[in-house]
């Protein structure tokens, strides 16, 4: 049983609950308060390892058990509070969880590499940063992760400006960030299992059994079941990318950064990685940011695209809109070959017939 904001008038719920509370002096209020607190705790912490559907099922089960001891009137309170908690918790993982880039400027000496860049990274979507070498996209990604400081501007995660965070606050934020590096960046000596478990060893105090269970889950998710004992030297480039992706999502991050995820891979393997990243982004409602030159990634996975040109944002849109863009710089970058130019012309002619 699942609930949405439409079934309960969430926007007016606070006022409704306030009036309800004035009329109700049930002696069940204290256990009810405790139950609601448990549900909110469940939402907050179970979300670490559960996707939305699993979490709803877990919390719904908790409420069914709790209702036996609360009575009819209190149960009504509980259902409404549950819906408010669910709505509030997942509102930030649908439309509101994103990274806002506001008027970012960055220079190295006299060379300005980012000129007043502003853009939004949307939740549950694959957000691409594209552009030629030297356009500033890599610097922008490093700034977004907090590896570089800005000269001016803001990088806002869910209302929190990371340019004003101290080291402790940045460390806490990075627990919710997964990173897929260009060269996979696997450790040579540890095996696949140990590589994927590394973030859990660093940031959690979970038991080995709990960590191993999570490692097996993510390895299965990237189609590497039973690869635990293999070493990086024994696996292909595509498998290394999938191991690195498993490590990036093992903590169920809210944000996933991918730096050239298809670098050095053949076209078929590149499509496999693109599909995996896309599926994981949707399944876990992650805000995914990909820095890429790969045109297959742009056309297949570009839910939201930012095109950088000489340190400035030149164009912003989707992979559907890019076909019909009249921006000459964007077109010369995306449709550089004669084959792609003809493909664009044919797509526009086909759209004109419709």
Domain spans, the chain: 10-91, 99-352
Tokens coding 131: 């552009």
Burial class for 301, CB neighbours closer than 10 Å (0-12, 13-18, 19+): buried
Closest CA to 322 of 314, 104, 272: 314
pTM confidence score? 0.71
> Which residue(s) pair with 106 in the sheet?
114
Q: What is the pLDDT of residue 339?
A: 83
163 vs 148: CA distance, rounded Å: 9
pLDDT of residue 153: 96
Superfamily of domain 99-352: P-loop containing nucleotide triphosphate hydrolases (3.40.50.300)
**What is the SS3 assignment for the chain?**
CCCCCCCCCHHHHHHHHHHHHHHCCCCCHHHHHHHHHHHHHHHHHHCCCCCHHHHHHHHHHHHHHHHCCCCHHHHHHHHHHHHHHHHHHHHCCCCCCCEEEEEEEEEECCEEEEEEEEEEECCCCEEEEECCCCCCHHHHHHHHHCCCCCCEEEEEECCEEHHHCCHHHHHHHHCCEEEECCCCCCCCCCCHHHHHHHHHHHHCCCCHHHHHHHHHHHHHHCCCCCCCCCCHHHCCHHHHHHHHHHHHHCCCCCEEEEECCCCCCCHHHHHHHHHHHHHHHHHCCCEEEEECCCHHHHHHHCCEEEEEECCEEEEEECHHHHCCCCCHHHHHHHCCCHHHHHHHHHHHHHHHHC
Q: If the chain, 354 residues long, is cut into consecutive pieces of 10 residues, what is the mean pLDDT of each piece?
A: 38 42 44 50 46 46 44 44 39 57 95 95 92 91 92 93 92 90 92 96 93 96 93 94 95 93 87 91 91 88 93 93 90 86 81 65
């Amino acid at each position: 049983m699942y609930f949405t904001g439409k079934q309960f008038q969430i926007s007016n719920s606070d006022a409704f609950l306030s009036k309800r509370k004035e009329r109700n002096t049930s002696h069940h209020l204290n256990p009810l308060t405790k139950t609601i607190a448990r549900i909110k705790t469940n939402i907050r912490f179970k979300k670490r390892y559960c996707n939305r559907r699993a979490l709803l099922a877990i919390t719904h089960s908790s409420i069914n058990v709790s209702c036996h001891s609360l009575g009819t009137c209190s149960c009504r309170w509980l259902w409404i509070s549950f819906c408010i908690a669910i709505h509030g918790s997942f509102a930030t993982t649908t439309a509101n969880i994103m990274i806002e880039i506001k008027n970012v400027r960055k220079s190295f000496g006299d060379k300005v590499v980012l000129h007043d860049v502003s853009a939004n990274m949307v939740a549950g979507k694959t957000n691409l940063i594209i552009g030629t070498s030297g356009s500033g996209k890599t610097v922008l990604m490093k700034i977004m992760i907090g590896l570089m400081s800005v000269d001016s501007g803001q990088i806002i995660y869910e209302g929190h400006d990371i340019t004003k965070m101290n080291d402790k606050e940045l460390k806490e934020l990075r627990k919710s960030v997964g990173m897929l590096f260009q060269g996979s960046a696997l450790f040579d000596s540890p095996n696949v299992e140990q590589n994927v478990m590394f973030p859990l060893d660093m940031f959690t105090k979970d038991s080995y059994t709990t960590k191993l269970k999570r490692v097996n889950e993510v390895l299965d998710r990237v189609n590497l079941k039973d690869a635990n004992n293999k070493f990086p030297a024994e696996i292909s480039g595509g498998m290394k990318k999938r191991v690195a992706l498993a490590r990036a999502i093992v903590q169920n991050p809210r944000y996933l950064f991918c730096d050239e995820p298809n670098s050095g891979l053949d076209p078929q393997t590149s499509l496999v990685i693109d599909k995996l990243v896309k599926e994981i982004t949707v399944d876990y409602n992650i805000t995914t940011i990909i820095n890429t030159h790969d045109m297959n990634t742009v056309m297949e996975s570009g839910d939201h695209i930012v095109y950088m040109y000489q340190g400035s944002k030149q164009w912003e849109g989707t992979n559907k809109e890019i076909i019909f863009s009249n921006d000459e710089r964007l077109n010369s970058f995306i449709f550089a070959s004669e084959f792609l130019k003809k493909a664009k012309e044919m797509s526009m002619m086909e759209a004109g017939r419709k």
